[in-house]
Amino acid sequence: MTTQQRPSFEKIYLALARMLSERSTCARLKVGTVITSTDYRKVLAVGYNGNATGLPNQCDRADVGNCGCLHSEENAVINCDSPRQVEKIVFITHLPCVQCAKRLINLGNVKKIFYCEDYRIRDSLDLLKSVGIEVEQFE
């Protein structure tokens, strides 16, 4: 009998985040986010970056860092109706910016963040670690 190599949950949820990022309408950077329970049995929310619901599916401006799109993490936090006391793991295609790191902190009980690609500004790493959220780059 052959032993099957099963993908890890981390690999599966980061692949889902990458797939979600393909829905992004941002012209500069496509980002996807998945929030799960710590036992990986439940997807609590998903998000990708783009304009607000009902607005044109395009960036408002061409300015880097100011295109007007809602960030992927921001949309996932908005979509997450899980109570603060529920422990969470977050999977993101890119390291979050400082503002999204703060949103994830306020979501409550985020235990760990996995991400694939670095963001141009890495200040969120120290911020997240300062409140006890583990951060791991996963390839």
Res 88: pLDDT: 98
First vs last C-alpha separation in the chain: 30
**DSSP at 50:** B
In the predicted model, is pLDDT for residue 63 greater than 90? Answer: no
Mean pLDDT, range 69-92, rounded to an integer = 97
Contact 92, 114 (CB under 8 A): yes
Rounded Cα distance between 10 and 60, Å, is 33
| DSSP 8-state secondary structure symbol assigned to residue 65 | T
State mean pLDDT over 59-80: 92
Instruction: Check residue 1 and give its pLDDT.
Output: 67
User: For residue 2, is pLDDT > 80?
Assistant: no
Q: pTM for the full model? A: 0.94
Report the relative pairing of strands 110-117 and 88-94 from DSSP bridges: parallel
pLDDT over 90 at 96, yes or no = yes
